[in-house]
Amino acid sequence: MIRLSAQPMTWVAAGDSITQAVLHTHGARGWVEHLQERIRWELDRLTDIIVNSGVSGWRAVDVLGSYDHLIGRFAPDVLSLSLGTNDARAGLAGLPEFRDAMRRIIDRSGAQTQTVLHTPVLVSVAGREARGELPAYAQAVREIAEETGALLVDHEAHWRAHFGDADPISWLDDPAHPNAAGHLQMAEHTLRALGLGPMSPRY
């Protein structure tokens, strides 16, 4: 559960296109925007600042390489890391690099930062050819969270609980990117996992 301060807090969401929420919501809010509505308005934390520094196509090593620009200069109280979907294209051979980059991002953020790690969402049946090892990356995120004490938001488990072995295409806009419904699911699950939900019924 996130520890809320009486003082204004800074939240940074770093990740890839799913965090950036480009194109695939077709004008609807992305999951970080839903979090902002919940935190800054519904929870009456009007002076909290939420920064979305997601970059389409990026991997953990890319975020690490631009740490100061994407994360460090904001000195976040809360750092959300949602990566793995692009990293998984490297298959099992890419796992050591992914693990190392994730750990180094967390280490650079320091103990004063509350870190939140997200497992990647499911891809469609059509998307599994390019990202067949995505479950291994989700498991790596779980293990890193356990090792570092980071909070875990397990989207993969949430999506599997809903879809089982069925194709999750109703929450996707293409084989790998959530649509508006998928982003809303991500937001709701994140807020529940962090002890900040539920969202207003109007959603």
- C-alpha–C-alpha distance, residues 90 and 122, integer Å: 17
Strand order in the sheet with 49-52: 49-52, 10-15, 78-82, 114-118, 151-153
SS3 category, 143: helix
- C-alpha–C-alpha distance, residues 32 and 101, integer Å: 22
Per-chain mean pLDDT for the chain: 97
C-alpha distance from residue 10 to each of 5, 75, 102, 181 (Å): 10, 7, 20, 27
pTM of whole model > 0.95?
A: yes
C-alpha distance from residue 19 to each of 53, 74, 111, 112, 118 (Å): 8, 17, 24, 23, 11
Residue where the block lists tokens 């990293």: 87
Q: Of 49, 51, 55, nearest to 22 (Cα)?
A: 55
For 6-52, what is each residue's pLDDT tens digit? Answer: 999 999 999 999 999 999 999 999 999 999 999 999 999 999 999 99
For 155-203, what is each residue's pLDDT tens digit? Answer: 999 999 999 999 999 999 999 999 999 999 999 999 999 999 998 876 5
pLDDT at 201 (0 to 100): 79
For 80-128, what is each residue's pLDDT tens digit? Answer: 999 999 999 999 999 999 999 999 999 999 999 999 999 999 999 999 9
Paired strand residues for 178 = 172
pLDDT at 129 (0 to 100): 94
